[in-house]
Amino acid sequence: MTTPPVASELNLCLCHSCGLACDMTGEPHECERCGAPLHRRKANALTRTWAYLLTSLVFYIPANVLPVMNTKMVGNGADSTIMGGVLDFWQHGAWDIALIIFIASIAVPGIKFVALTLLLVTVQRDSDWARKERSKMYRFVELIGYWSMLDVIVVALVASLVKFQALADIEPRAGILFFGLVVVFTMLSAMSFDPRLIWDQHHSKNEEVMDEVASH
């Protein structure tokens, strides 16, 4: 049984910018085609991913505890948090908006926290477990990142709808700022992670096995 060679054995490194497999003989620092900096692995990937992830977790608390908007219905104003808003919309029959806000602002960040923590812990422990599935999970986290701003858009949309009806007024509150920060920092966290790390140990273990087989 032969394992296909990895890029480092062939002394190749993929350019993140244009995708060219660059020859690393002579340790070039830039891609010969597009000039982007080359690195075999993202620098300090684990530390950075942890730092951004913990920062976003800290911001997740005020994002949920502080009110995100103030709705004024004929005179009396009321502040509402994300969860409060979800319940309000649900009770007033707007279950579709309630569902969108719940998925975008509570479920998506929650899934990202769990997924990134799982990826970080398993990579740090050189885990053999479900490498293929973990790679797929990372791609899924990247994919849902694009949809995270949905919530901010929903608030803007609801605000403009309410203003058109002219019966009520709606204003953003501090919570939405923290929510925006959660979105930005989870995105940075996902971008800092290097999915190739999932496979690194796997390959060197295989090599050890092959070496052992060869030496006998």
47 binds Zn ion (CB under 5 A): no
- What the block records as the tokens of 214 is 């060869």
- Are 78 and 71 within 8 A, CB to CB? yes
Q: What is the CB-side half-sphere exposure of residue 56 using CA atoms within 13 A?
A: 27
34 binds Zn ion (CB under 5 A): yes
17 binds Zn ion (CB under 5 A): yes
31 binds Zn ion (CB under 5 A): yes
In 3D space, the residue among 114, 186, 113, 179 whose CA is nearest the CA of residue 151 turns out to be 179
Q: Minimum distance from CB of 13 to Zn ion (Å)?
A: 10
Q: Is the CB of 5 or the CB of 19 nearer to Zn ion?
A: 19
Q: Of the candidates 5, 9, 11, 18, which one interacts with Zn ion according to CB under 5 A?
A: 18
- What the block records as the tokens of 193 is 């992670």
Q: Minimum distance from CB of 191 to Zn ion (Å)?
A: 18
124 binds Zn ion (CB under 5 A): no
Helices (H), the chain: 45-65, 82-91, 95-102, 108-124, 131-145, 150-165, 174-192, 197-215
Q: Is the CB of 30 or the CB of 207 nearer to Zn ion?
A: 30
15 binds Zn ion (CB under 5 A): yes
- Residues near Zn ion (CB under 5 A) are 15, 17-18, 20, 31, 33-34, 36
